[in-house]
Amino acid sequence: MMPPMRRLLLIAFACLALVGAGCGDDSSSTSSSGEATETAEAPKEKTKPQVKKQEGPPPTELVTNDLEEGTGPAAKAGDEVSVQYVGVNYKSGKEFDASWSRGEPFTFALGSGMVIPGWEKGIEGMKVGGRRELIIPPELGYGAAGSPPTIPPNETLVFVVDLEAIS
């Protein structure tokens, strides 16, 4: 027969093991319609990037540079994506907008026309956890109208975008 103290410790250990096994993480959630949805999220360790002033003439086509390759799923049209970003004017290097300054990511439906065409094309295919530089010519940005007072007419834009989540 087992001593009472040893038996008590064995039972306590078994209970802790069962409780620990039930505390796992499940990345799926249930929407209000009762459907299961998957959410892919990047680690929360990134900080606001410094965007370098560009040299030479601006490109005439969209340029994408993966500064950090993500490891999660790739964004596609129809996905709701959450990003952190910094936007600067190509010519001056002056920042005109940054979600980092607001302390929360910007979320939108990719392919829905909610953002400028350069973002629609430049973020598609990006993987969760990635950081991408987008150099966007005026035709895929704000064009001849610009977005006064911070974005002059026909300005090429530079964004550094972190894809934090797809849902």
Q: How many domains does the chain fold into? A: 1
Say what the pTM is.
Answer: 0.74
**Does 100 fall in a domain?**
yes
Q: How high is the pLDDT of residue 12?
A: 42
- For the chain, the C-alpha Rg in angstroms (whole number) is 23
* 96-105: Cβ within 8 A, 24+ apart: 96/147, 96/150, 96/151, 97/150, 98/48, 100/47, 100/48, 101/48, 105/164, 105/165
pLDDT at 15 over 60: no
**Does 2 fall in a domain?**
no
Q: How high is the pLDDT of residue 35?
A: 46
Tokens of 166: 């797809």
Average pLDDT value for residue range 91-118: 96
pLDDT tens sequence across 46-104 = 899 999 889 999 999 999 999 999 999 999 999 999 999 999 999 999 999 999 999 99
**Does 3 fall in a domain?**
no
Cβ–Cβ < 8 Å for 121, 139:
no
CATH for 61: 3.10.50.40
